[in-house]
């Protein structure tokens, strides 16, 4: 009788856990040159990465994830925000003095696009540098031309730049450094 009761419970648990399992990143290293090789970045050992090429410093983890210095991974699940909520993450990170800095900001779409790894998809970002990044859309700070209710984003599933209504909810990665 106990065995019969466990089967539905195990099935239920597996159903809950399977969506959390991510698919493996696909990279074409044989035919494409890395756009963002790991050697291009310096790990600052404080949850941040500095891009030697752009001179920008990025949070390793998406917003709502926590950097775990013991494992070298991002713990937790990234939150999705409307564009206004994404902008509101900036003063929060600055008030918390993340990595002892107070000049965090939402990146422009060009800056965010500089992280796209064209060798890889799902996600199209260097996971050695930015662990735990979901293959999803990330907001930029860049409004979309004359449409005041739209803003640019970068889709890290396929590495595409586009725009969407600011009421949509997407992920956020903060940056600091000179604005391009």
4 assigned to some structural domain: no
pLDDT in tens, 99-115: 999 999 999 999 999 99
pLDDT the model gives residue 26: 82
pLDDT, average across residues 73-85: 97
pLDDT the model gives residue 141: 97
pLDDT in tens, 4-34: 444 333 333 333 333 333 457 888 888 788 9
109 assigned to some structural domain: yes
19 assigned to some structural domain: no
Statement: the pTM of the whole predicted model exceeds 0.95: no
pLDDT, average across residues 112-120: 94
Cα–Cα dist 56/34, whole Å? 19
CATH number of the domain enclosing 133: 3.10.100
Contact between residue 109 and residue 155 where contact means Cβ atoms under 8 Å apart: no
Q: Is residue 71 predicted with pLDDT exceeding 90?
A: yes
What is the pairing mode between strands 175-176 and 73-75? unpaired
2 assigned to some structural domain: no
70 assigned to some structural domain: yes
Residue recorded with tokens 């005041």? 148
Task: Please give the tally of structural domains in the chain.
Answer: 1
Q: Is residue 140 predicted with pLDDT exceeding 50?
A: yes
* DSSP code of residue 56: -
5 assigned to some structural domain: no
130 assigned to some structural domain: yes
Residue ranges making up the domain that contains 93:
34-176
């Amino acid at each position: 009788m106990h065995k019969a009761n466990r089967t539905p419970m195990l099935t239920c648990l597996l159903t809950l856990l399977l969506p959390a399992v991510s698919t493996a990143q696909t990279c074409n290293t044989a035919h494409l040159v890395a756009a963002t090789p790991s050697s291009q970045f310096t790990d600052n050992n404080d949850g941040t990465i500095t891009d030697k090429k752009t001179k920008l410093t990025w949070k390793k983890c998406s917003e709502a994830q926590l950097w775990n210095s013991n494992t070298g991974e991002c713990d937790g699940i990234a939150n999705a925000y409307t564009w206004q909520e994404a902008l509101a993450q900036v003063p929060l990170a600055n008030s918390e003095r993340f990595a002892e800095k107070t000049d965090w900001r939402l990146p422009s779409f060009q800056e965010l696009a500089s992280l796209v790894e064209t060798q890889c998809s799902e996600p199209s970002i260097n996971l050695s540098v930015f662990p735990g990044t979901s293959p999803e859309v990330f907001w930029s700070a860049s409004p979309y031309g004359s449409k005041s209710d739209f803003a640019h984003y970068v889709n890290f599933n396929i590495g595409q730049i586009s725009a969407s209504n600011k009421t949509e909810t997407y992920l956020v990665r903060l940056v600091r450094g000179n604005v391009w």
